[in-house]
């Protein structure tokens, strides 16, 4: 019986190899797999075999049948694809049926990316009020009234002593007043300055960050900002710290990255310097600690503040900051 089955299989494989077209394949099916085929009659004969031979013969017959059916199906499919029958094929070049999907504003998106980097480093995120007291915005940050550093901030006032925050730094004071070190926090939000031209809008976004503990050093500030810059821009973008002045940090630094437009060779965007200023930072001034009742001898910390629009503009090559607030869909849909 096994021999017969094997012979039949070989014969069938040879026939299938030469069969061309759907009609020939149908003929093959009737001849080898149909009800009246030799194969089926052979299988019927299995029942009359001695009991010991039956399982083996049955299994072999089934294997061959499955094999032939599979090969036939493949052949049939091939024949179909060759356009033998009248099949309707889609014009796959036509557009897909998309559902409308919106996106967040580019500033929100970059703000989220920035926050995510610091959240990954274990910083808490908190937001403060936009309408702020002079005390938090200036006084407690070591910017007393009549200090020339106030010239660095063109301030909107709501009434004497109440203003629109000019930076997100007031959150340093609010957070330190509310808890004791160690602290690490970022404060994203809107800030306001009365200034408006191609590079300034009267409202923009900042992310403030600070870390306070015992024996925090400037080299750690450099480390954290290095991580940040690598995550937001290229992994190995050149970065430099240079001395600057903020009343609430000492030493203070401005942080530049190699110009993302020209790669440091010098262009219009970096004004030929090869560097782009992206954030301000420094070690928290002891006066700030005093204003919140911390012992400036026992703790130290660093703080940094960055402009989200500026980073967004650099990231996407946007050349006019005012585009962010026109909410032109032709602009928004690019991000």
Partner 1 sequence: MKLTVNWLREYVDCALEPKAIADRLTMLGLEVDAVEPLHAGLDRVVVARIEEVTPHPDADRLVLCQANIGTEVVPVVCGAPNARAGLLSALALPGAKLPGGEIRRSKIRGQVSAGMFCSGKDLGIGADNDGIVELPAGMTPGVDIRVALGLADTMIEIDLTPNRPDCASVVGIAREIAGATGGRLLRERLPAPPALAAHGLPFTVVVEDGDACPRYMARLIRDVRVGPSPAWLRNRLQAVGLRPISNVVDITNYVLLTLGQPLHAFDFDRLAGGIVVRRAHPGERITTLDGVARELTPEMLLICDQVQPMAVAGVMGGGASEVSDATVNVLLESAHFNPVSIRKTSRALRLSTDSSYRFERGVDPALPPVAMEMAVRLIHELCGGVVCSGGYDLGGDTIAPPPPIILRRRRVCDLLGVQLSAERIAELLNSIEITTTVDDAENMTVQPPSFRIDIEREVDCIEEIARLVGYDAIPVTLPRVPMSFAPVDAGRSLAAAVSGIMTANGFWEAVNYSFVSPAHCDILKLAAEDAARATLPLLNPIAENQAVMRSLLLPGLLENTARNINYQQYDVRLYETGKVFVNRGEELPEETRMLAAVLSGRRNPDTPLLYDQGEKVDFFDCKGVVDALVAELRLQEVTYGCDRPAAHADPDQFCRVLLDNVEVGCFGRLLPAVAQAYGIKQDLWFIEINLDALQAGRAATPIFRELPRFPSVSRDVALVIADEVRGDEVIRAVTEMRQKLVEDVQIFDVYRGKPVADGYKSLGIAIRYRSPEKTLDEATVDKVHDKIIQTVLSRFSGRLREE
Q: Please identify, among the stretches 18-26, 30-38, 171-179, 197-205, the one whose residues bind partner 1 according to the rule CB under 8 A.
A: 197-205
The answer to whether 181 touches 284, Cβ cutoff 8 Å, is: no
149 near partner 1 (CB under 8 A): yes
| Long-range own/partner contacts, residues 22-26 (CB < 8 A, 24 or more apart) | 22/76, 22/79, 22/80, 22/84, 22/85, 25/72, 25/75, 25/76, 25/79
- Three-class secondary structure of residue 35 per DSSP: coil
Toward partner 1, which CB reaches closer, 22 or 200? 200
Q: Closest separation between CB of residue 292 and partner 1, Å? A: 16
298 near partner 1 (CB under 8 A): no
Residue for token digits 């089934």?
62
Q: Closest separation between CB of residue 87 and partner 1, Å? A: 22
Query: 237-276: string of b/e by CB count within 10 Å (b at 16+)?
Result: bebebeeeebbbbebbbbbbbbbbeeebeeeebbeeebbb
14 near partner 1 (CB under 8 A): no
CA dist., res. 180 & res. 178, Å (int): 7
Q: Closest separation between CB of residue 230 and partner 1, Å? A: 11
Site string for partner 1, 104-143 (x = CB under 8 A): xx-xx---x------x--xxxxxx-xxxxx----------
Q: Closest separation between CB of residue 242 and partner 1, Å? A: 5
CA dist., res. 84 & res. 74, Å (int): 15
The answer to whether 292 touches 315, Cβ cutoff 8 Å, is: no
94 near partner 1 (CB under 8 A): yes
Cis upstream peptide for 251 (omega within 30°): yes
Among 51, 151, 235, 236, binds partner 1 (CB under 8 A): 151
Residues 25-84 that bind partner 1 (CB under 8 A): none
Name the token pair of 183: 């602290």
Toward partner 1, which CB reaches closer, 25 or 185? 185
Among 52, 88, 90, 101, binds partner 1 (CB under 8 A): 101
Among 73, 116, 157, 199, binds partner 1 (CB under 8 A): 157
333 near partner 1 (CB under 8 A): yes
The answer to whether 183 touches 223, Cβ cutoff 8 Å, is: no
252 near partner 1 (CB under 8 A): yes
Name the token pair of 315: 């990231």
How many residues bind partner 1 (CB under 8 A)? The answer is 85
Residues 226-245 that bind partner 1 (CB under 8 A): 226-227, 240-245
Residues 200-229 that bind partner 1 (CB under 8 A): 201-203, 211, 213, 215-220, 222-224, 226-227
Among 7, 20, 103, 265, binds partner 1 (CB under 8 A): 103
Q: Closest separation between CB of residue 294 and partner 1, Å? A: 14
Listed in sequence order, the residues at least 6 apart from 154 whose beta carbon sits closer than 8 Å to its beta carbon are 166, 193, 194, 195
Name the token pair of 121: 């480093």
């Amino acid at each position: 019986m096994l021999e017969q089955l094997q012979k039949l299989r070989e014969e069938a494989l040879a026939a299938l190899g030469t069969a061309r077209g759907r009609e020939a394949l149908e003929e093959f099916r009737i001849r080898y797999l149909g009800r009246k085929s030799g194969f089926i009659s052979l299988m019927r004969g299995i029942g009359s075999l001695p009991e010991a031979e039956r399982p083996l013969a049955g299994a072999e017959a089934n294997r061959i049948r499955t094999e032939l059916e599979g090969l036939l199906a493949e052949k049939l499919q091939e024949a179909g694809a060759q356009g033998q029958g009248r099949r309707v094929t889609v014009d796959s070049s036509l557009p897909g049926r998309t559902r409308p999907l919106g996106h967040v504003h580019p500033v929100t998106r970059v703000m989220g990316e920035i926050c995510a980097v610091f959240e990954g480093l274990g910083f808490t995120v908190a937001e403060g009020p936009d309408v702020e007291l002079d005390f938090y915005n200036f006084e407690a940050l070591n910017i007393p009234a009549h200090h020339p550093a106030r010239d660095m901030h063109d301030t909107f006032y709501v009434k004497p002593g109440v203003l629109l925050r000019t930076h997100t730094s007031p959150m340093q004071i609010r957070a330190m007043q509310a808890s004791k070190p160690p602290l690490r926090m970022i404060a994203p939000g809107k800030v306001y300055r009365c200034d408006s031209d191609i590079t300034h809008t009267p409202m923009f976004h900042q992310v403030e960050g600070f870390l306070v503990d015992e024996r925090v050093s400037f080299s750690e500030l450099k480390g954290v900002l290095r991580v940040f810059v690598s995550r937001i821009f290229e992994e190995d973008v050149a970065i430099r710290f240079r001395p600057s002045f903020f009343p609430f940090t000492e030493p203070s630094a401005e942080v530049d990255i190699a110009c993302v437009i020209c790669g440091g060779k010098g262009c219009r965007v970096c004004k030929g310097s090869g560097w782009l200023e992206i954030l301000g930072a420094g070690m928290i001034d002891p006066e700030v600690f005093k204003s919140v009742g911390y012992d400036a001898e026992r703790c130290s910390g660093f703080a940094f503040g960055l402009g989200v629009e500026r980073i967004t503009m650099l990231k996407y090559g946007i050349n006019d900051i005012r585009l962010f607030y026109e909410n032109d869909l032709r602009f928004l849909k690019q991000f």
